A = this chain, B = another copy of it.
Amino acid sequence: MKLKPSKPTDLSAHIAQAIRDAIVSGELIVDERLPSEAELSDQFQVSRPTVREALKRLAAQSLIRTQRGASGGAFVNKLSFEDAYSQQVTTSTLLLSMNAVSFDTACEARYSLERACAALSAERRTADQLATMRAEIFRQSQPGLTDEAFCASDVSFHRALVDGAANPVLSYQLAGAVEAMQPLMNMITFTARSREEIIALHSRIADALEARDAKAVDQALLELEAYTRQLARDVAEKRRKPN
């Protein structure tokens, strides 16, 4: 663990980077204990608060965890899919909300990726996942449902579809694409008619998955994407000319 780069300021950022490099390169392995804060401040020739700021940076990325007490300290954390998943969702959500990404662009990305899971999911989906999808479809058909709850159920439905591919890397990668869309979807007001349409498409997807018919899943997803984008266009249209 060395620090060489140029910048004279932000010592804590440099130290964090040095430790991060050591972790990424494998110099520090999972569950290995880092030197204590006191030792680190000696090694890096900085004060303990500075070391602590560096460690908090790493903790924010789930790269380390800390434990108090004797034989405590900072340990290299095994980055779990769960941690990575939630980080990804947060990042993706902020990315979309801060960069004026058009609904079309986000929607295209989401459904392109989802279709990438379609074939695998058709092949591997479990009965359990299928049941989850059916349950979400049922929930979506309940009359009193708010738009937000409808969207949340939509996310659950699609998540089950993605998880059906039985590939944790895919599930992780898709997390951002699917969940980060929700705030954008929430801006749409779903009429009874449009809900009906979406539910019909969801049912077609579930049916196709049940029949393990990859082509049909793909086709239904294509239509769902087209319909969703049409809905968004209608909403935008109405906003512009609210009759």
Contacts and interface: CB of A to CB of B under 8 A. Distances in A.
Contacts of A93: 24
A64 to B, nearest CB: 11
B91 A84 contact: yes
A81 B108 contact: no
Contacts of A30: 98
A168 interface: yes
Contacts of A233: none
Interface string A32-52: 000000000000000001001
A170 B59 contact: no
A91 to B, nearest CB: 5
A93 B169 CA distance: 11
A167 B108 contact: yes
The 7 closest A-B pairs by CB, nearest first: A116-B116, A109-B169, A57-B60, A60-B60, A112-B116, A53-B56, A109-B170
Given A24-B90, A79-B94, 14 more contacts: A26-B97, A49-B49, A53-B53, A57-B60, A63-B94, A80-B99, A81-B95, A95-B169, A95-B172, A108-B120, A108-B167, A110-B169, A112-B119, A116-B116
